[in-house]
């Protein structure tokens, strides 16, 4: 970090650890991460939703991605696919849709450090992706649609 940053917790009992600095914050509590605590590219580990804002510029720190065990996504850009990366352990991943997410598209197993994918998910549905360990999920739209 080039300057200190403020961490704002959205939920009670939010753990934040960045370098040598750690906090347990309650909802709406703000704490500072000193500029000596985190270097560019260092992880900031959190247990619940937060916002992290640079004290110098006011810019929000945007992560590359969030690792988690549940993702919900509405598909509105043509046929879609999802790629799953499992950095922490072997993941059993399931993609479900429909009322109450009771219809499951498929199940895949992704080894630690491995990649798996779900493809050809139809437009106009909401999907829920569940995993037994934290994973990173990337969404890609099919055809000429942009990937994001």
pLDDT tens per residue, the chain (148 residues)?
Answer: 457 889 999 889 999 998 888 999 999 999 998 876 666 667 788 888 888 888 888 777 766 567 889 888 877 766 677 889 898 899 999 988 877 777 777 789 999 989 998 877 767 778 888 999 999 888 776 554 444 4
Q: What is the pLDDT of residue 144?
A: 46
Provide the CB-side half-sphere exposure for 25 (13 A, CA): 27
CA-based radius of gyration for the chain: 18
Q: Measure the CA–CA gap between 71 and 81, rounded to whole angstroms.
A: 14
Compute the distance between CA of residue 79 and CA of residue 140 in angstroms, rounded to an integer.
9
Alpha-carbon distances of 74 from 8, 21, 103, 121, 123, rounded to whole Å: 27, 37, 15, 11, 9
- Is this model's pTM higher than 0.85 or not? no
Would you call 5 helix, strand, or coil by DSSP? strand
């Amino acid at each position: 970090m080039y300057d200190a940053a403020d961490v704002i917790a959205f939920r009670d009992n939010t753990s934040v650890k960045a370098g040598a600095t750690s906090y347990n914050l309650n909802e709406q509590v703000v704490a500072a991460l000193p500029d000596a605590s985190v270097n560019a590219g260092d992880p900031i580990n959190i247990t619940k939703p937060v916002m992290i804002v640079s004290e110098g510029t006011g810019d929000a720190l945007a992560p590359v991605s969030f690792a988690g065990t549940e993702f919900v996504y509405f598909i509105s850009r043509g046929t879609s696919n999802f790629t799953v990366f499992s950095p922490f352990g072997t993941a059993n991943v399931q993609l479900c849709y429909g009322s109450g997410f009771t219809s499951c598209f498929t199940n895949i197993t992704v080894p630690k450090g491995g990649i798996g994918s779900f493809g050809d998910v139809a437009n106009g549905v909401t999907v829920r992706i569940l995993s037994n360990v934290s994973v990173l999920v990337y969404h890609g739209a099919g055809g000429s649609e942009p990937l994001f």
